[in-house]
Amino acid sequence: MDLTVPRRHGPISIRLVRQRDARVIQAELIGNRSWLRPWEATNPDGPVSFDMRAGVRRLLQQYRDGGGIPLVMEYEGEIAGQLNVWGIARGSLASATIGYWVSERFAGLGITPTSVALATDLCFRELHLHRMEICIRPENVASLRVVEKLGFRYEGLRRRYIHIAGDWRDHYAFALVREDVPEGVLERWVSGRVPAGATVIPPADRPPT
């Protein structure tokens, strides 16, 4: 399995991050601070160094260790964001979690749902994982649209789950298992066969209005 070879659909592709991508990624992160800050994980022990070269080295080491797959999302060959498959578990669990961010200037081009579909298909077909999860803050309307488009199933509310923007935040959990999408996530979506209602959140789990 060569992840340096892009998996693509139209102008959108995903591939393994490279060390030389660090400069471009850091520039995008700095230029998108107000856009990304509300959704970025933070460290409850205090701020950490914002050194993307070191960050990419850590991500690639996790990849070599089998714990994650750090990918970049590209639009017409230009880096538009990152998608990380993390927490890979083998054996009887055979699962992983997807997290991502996209630059504001690339928003609305279908990059995130297409990349999530490509990455999930890669994990099911090439890594032979069984379950893929995405956790989203209830306030993150754009990300909720992603799982709705792709038909990820709502599985519950995780209270105070991830430290973001200075506090522990609730997240909704969504997932797919391989049997849900025998034709593939991307094919099911582009062919219009995503079942309605999979992502519906019960009233008891919704934040008060």
Residue range 74-93, pLDDT digits in tens: 999 999 999 999 999 999 99
Q: What is the pTM of this model?
A: 0.94
What's the rounded Cα separation, in Å, for the pair 88 and 100? 16
pLDDT at residue 50 in the model = 67
Specify whether the CB–CB gap between 96 and 87 falls below 8 A: yes
Give, as one character, the DSSP assignment of residue 5. S
What's the rounded Cα separation, in Å, for the pair 117 and 46? 34
What's the rounded Cα separation, in Å, for the pair 61 and 75? 26
Does the residue 204 lie in any domain? no
Continuous H helices in the chain: 22-31, 33-36, 52-64, 111-125, 141-150, 185-190
Does the residue 12 lie in any domain? yes
End-to-end CA distance of the chain: 47
* Reported confidence tier of residue 44, pLDDT bands at 50, 70, 90: confident
Residue range 134-191, pLDDT digits in tens: 999 999 999 999 999 999 999 999 999 999 988 999 999 999 999 999 999 999 999 9
Q: How many domains does the chain divide into?
A: 1
**Helix/strand/coil (H/E/C) assignment for every residue in 78-97:** EEEEEEEEEEEECCCCCEEE
The range of the structural domain enclosing residue 186 comes to 7-196
What's the rounded Cα separation, in Å, for the pair 121 and 156? 23
Does the residue 46 lie in any domain? yes
Does the residue 88 lie in any domain? yes
What's the rounded Cα separation, in Å, for the pair 83 and 72? 6
Question: Cα dihedral sign for 73, 51, 87, 169?
Answer: negative
CATH number of residue 187's parent domain: 3.40.630.30
Does the residue 208 lie in any domain? no
